[in-house]
């Protein structure tokens, strides 16, 4: 899919926002939702999305909505650090299929990294156990704004 197109109301993130698909939620407010990636590349891999924006990528989002997303990314990243004590944290965001984007709803990845632990390939290990993700989401949420 190119950088241009029409927002798909049936994308998985839109379905999560409507409550049609469960998500291991870390935090949410009127503007954003943070939840665990079901195909994690590392333990604690989280995603942040905007709740109302129909932006498919960074090029389509308003500055106000982007600020809300990035503020949530920072809060969740701090909580991931406090909960999991990684050696580093990757923050990434893809725009268009050639760049690696697979879900065309603007989202930001928070991926904890540890020395000598290889990064998994997204989706290569299969879907993570939802109960484990929910427990981990709770552990991270307990450190929000700490």
**Which of the residues 45, 107, 122, 143 is marked catalytic?**
107
Is residue 107 among the annotated active site residues?
yes
Q: Which residues contact 116 (CB under 8 A, 6 or more apart)?
A: none
Active site residues: 107
């Amino acid at each position: 899919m190119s950088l241009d197109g029409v927002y798909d109301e049936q994308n998985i993130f839109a379905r999560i926002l409507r409550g049609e698909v469960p998500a291991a939620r870390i935090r949410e407010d009127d503007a954003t939702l943070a939840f665990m990636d079901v195909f994690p590349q590392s333990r604690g891999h989280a995603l942040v999305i905007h709740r109302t924006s129909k932006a498919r990528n960074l090029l389509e989002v308003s500055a106000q909505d982007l600020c809300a997303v990035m503020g949530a990314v920072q809060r969740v990243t701090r909580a991931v650090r406090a909960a999991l004590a990684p050696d580093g944290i990757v923050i990434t965001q893809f725009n268009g299929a050639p760049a690696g984007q697979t879900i065309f709803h603007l989202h930001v990845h928070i991926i904890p990294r540890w020395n000598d632990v290889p990064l998994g390939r997204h989706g290569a290990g299969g879907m993570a156990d939802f109960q484990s993700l929910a427990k981990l989401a709770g552990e991270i949420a307990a450190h929000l704004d700490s």
